[in-house]
Amino acid sequence: MKKAILLAGALTVAMAALTACGGTGKAEPETTAEAATKAQTVTIAAAASLETCLRDELIPLFEKQNPGITIEGTYDSSGKLQTQIEEGAGIDVFFSAAAKQMDALNEKGMIQDGSVRNLLENKIVFIVPTGDEGNYSSFEDIAKAENAALGDPDSVPAGQYSKEALTNLGLWDEVLAKASLGTNVTEVLNWVAEGSAKAGIVYATDAAQTGKVTIVAEAPEGSVKKAIYPAGIIKDCENPEGAQKFIDFLASSEAMDIFVKNGFAAAE
């Protein structure tokens, strides 16, 4: 008798549990609100010169303000990132250090219409290892250095700007003859910082990241066009809404204050 009572009680509990689950044993469909709050990942491909301020400050701030979105970043020369995107890399947002790479993707129909925004401006500067700056006084004095480090102008925007400035100053061939070409601007910075290169050309924001290099001079006005950083959404990306939220955040006054603190200027 006791066994029968216990069995009946167990069946009652089991039936109540099934009723609470809808009576079918199947999970109820997600509500719209539940689906909207599901975690999503936005993948960005950003120029190497943006890595520090994005990784250390801007991405953590955005993720704190948007708990349903995680940002994953890959950083390299804009030319390399352009190639990766052309080859089908799963990227949502491209943040380039020059218009050239963004324009090339746009011309191939790979950028979402109307999504490109010119966000930042940077400066091109001549740097030397700290302690050596007394030997130089102008941008043109890079030609006096024993050797130099430059970004590869075939793929690195900083290298393209370097070539433009030095060509306009009549110094490109002379400097190139004793230059090592880096695959991105961070590599150029590191060569000068460690002293393996006696001079280099990088962005002002890169030089500000370490006390191991000193800026001798900015590229003379008129010798090089402005270094503009555009951001855009890749067409047919997996997370267009999250990508748009991130670009809107990057253009906000809050984010711009952080960029400016890191040596960038807002694009005009």
pLDDT tens readout for residues 199-215 = 999 999 999 989 999 99
Mean pLDDT score, 101-112: 97
Task: Work out the pLDDT band at 125, boundaries 50, 70, 90.
Answer: very high
Q: How far apart are CA 48 and CA 42, in angstroms?
A: 18
Q: How far apart are CA 71 and CA 225, in angstroms?
A: 31
pLDDT at 1 over 60: no
Burial zone of 236 (CB within 10 Å; 0-12 exposed, 13-18 middle, 19+ buried): exposed
**pTM of the predicted structure, to 2 decimals:** 0.77
Task: Work out the pLDDT band at 8, boundaries 50, 70, 90.
Answer: very low
Q: List CB contacts of 99: < 8 A, sequence separation 6 or more.
A: 118, 228, 230
pLDDT tens readout for residues 143-152 = 999 999 999 9
Q: Is 264:72 a contact under the CB 8 Å cutoff?
A: no
In this structure, what is the dihedral angle of CA atoms 150, 154, 160, 166, given to the nearest 10 degrees?
60
Task: Work out the pLDDT band at 39, boundaries 50, 70, 90.
Answer: confident
